Amino acid sequence: MTQLLPKSLLDALEAGRCVPVLGHQALEGITDTQGNAMPADSDSLIIAMNNGRPMAPKLMYEFPRAAMNIELKRGRKAVTRFLDTTYRDTQWSASSFHQQLAEAGFDYLIDLNRDTQLQNFWSRTPHLLVVGVARIGGGTERYRLFQHDGEAYYPVTLETVDSSLPILFKPVGTPVPESLYIASDADYVDYLTELMGGFGMPPFLKQKRKGCQYLLLGLKLDRDTPRMLINDIVYDAGHPAGWACIQDPTPKEARFLERQGFEVLNLSHQDCLNAVLTEVNAHA
* pLDDT single digits (tens) 58-105: 999 999 999 999 999 999 999 999 999 999 999 999 999 999 999 999
Pair 162, 79 in one domain: no
Pair 76, 118 in one domain: no
Pair 69, 210 in one domain: no
- 25 or 140, greater pLDDT: 25
Confidence at residue 135, expressed as pLDDT on a 0 to 100 scale:
87
Q: Answer whether residue 123 shows pLDDT above 90.
A: yes
Instruction: Give the number of other CB atoms < 10 A from CB of residue 240.
Output: 17
Confidence at residue 1, expressed as pLDDT on a 0 to 100 scale:
40
> For the stretch 121-152, what's the b/e string if a residue is b when 16 or more beta carbons lie within 10 angstroms of its beta carbon?
bbbeeebbbbbbbbeeeeeebbbbbbbbeeee
Q: Answer whether residue 3 shows pLDDT above 90.
A: no
Domain count, the chain: 2
CATH number for the domain harbouring residue 130 = 3.40.50.1220
Confidence at residue 281, expressed as pLDDT on a 0 to 100 scale:
83
Q: Is residue 79 part of a domain?
A: yes
Confidence at residue 30, expressed as pLDDT on a 0 to 100 scale:
98
Confidence at residue 2, expressed as pLDDT on a 0 to 100 scale:
44
38 vs 28: CA distance, rounded Å = 8
Pair 117, 77 in one domain: no
Confidence at residue 237, expressed as pLDDT on a 0 to 100 scale:
95
Pair 110, 168 in one domain: yes
Q: Let me know: does 127 contact 114? Beta carbons within 8 Å.
A: no
Domain residues for the domain of 242 are 2-30+94-282
Average pLDDT along the chain: 95
Q: Is residue 115 part of a domain?
A: yes
Average pLDDT score over residue span 149-167: 97
Q: Is residue 127 part of a domain?
A: yes
Pair 189, 214 in one domain: yes
Pair 26, 66 in one domain: no
Place 18 in a pLDDT band, splitting at 50, 70 and 90. very high
107 vs 154: CA distance, rounded Å = 20
Provide CB contacts within 8 A for 15, sequence distance 6+. none
Pair 200, 171 in one domain: yes
Pair 140, 194 in one domain: yes
Place 282 in a pLDDT band, splitting at 50, 70 and 90. confident
Q: Is residue 164 part of a domain?
A: yes
Percent share of the chain, pLDDT over 90: 93
What is the reported pTM? 0.97
Q: Is residue 35 part of a domain?
A: no
- Summarised one tens digit per residue, pLDDT across range 196-248 is 988 999 999 999 999 999 999 999 999 999 999 999 999 999 999 999 999 99
Pair 64, 103 in one domain: no
Pair 252, 136 in one domain: yes
